[in-house]
Amino acid sequence: GESVGLHLPTLSVQEGDNSIINCAYSNSASDYFIWYKQESGKGPQFIIDIRSNMDKRQGQRVTVLLNKTVKHLSLQIAATQPGDSAVYFCAENTNAGKSTFGDGTTLTVKP
């Protein structure tokens, strides 16, 4: 079936560096994409979203890029901090109210 997947299960960066987390999706009908952050022992928390009529969206220290041609989504975190250490999930929405989540990328920030 169609699903959202992540290119790398783990990512380790130095504090202060930029982080890039990637996501591949396979459902060309998906028109809404969300990045979530999940800290240990907690539920996922919304970071940023993007709709399919956009290529880029910026938030505070985070940027999401959407490439519909190759069905690729990325999350960029600027000046990564220890508090950014978590598991990051991308999710895609088609119609009928459902989200499909990828397996997640674990980001570790080294001091």
Number of neighbours of residue 66 by Cβ within 10 angstroms? 20
Tell me if 45 contacts other proteins by CB under 8 A: yes
Candidates 40, 42, 53, 111: give the one binding other proteins (CB under 8 A).
Answer: 42
Tell me if 83 contacts other proteins by CB under 8 A: no
How far apart (Å, rounded) are the C-alpha atoms in residues 61 and 36? 14
Q: Which of the ranges 11-19, 39-47, 61-69, 71-79 carries the binding residues for other proteins, by CB under 8 A?
A: 39-47
Tell me if 102 contacts other proteins by CB under 8 A: yes
Q: 9 - beta bridge partners?
A: none
Candidates 11, 19, 86, 89: give the one binding other proteins (CB under 8 A).
Answer: 89
Q: How far is CA 35 from CA 25, 71, 83, 102, 110, in A?
A: 13, 15, 16, 10, 22
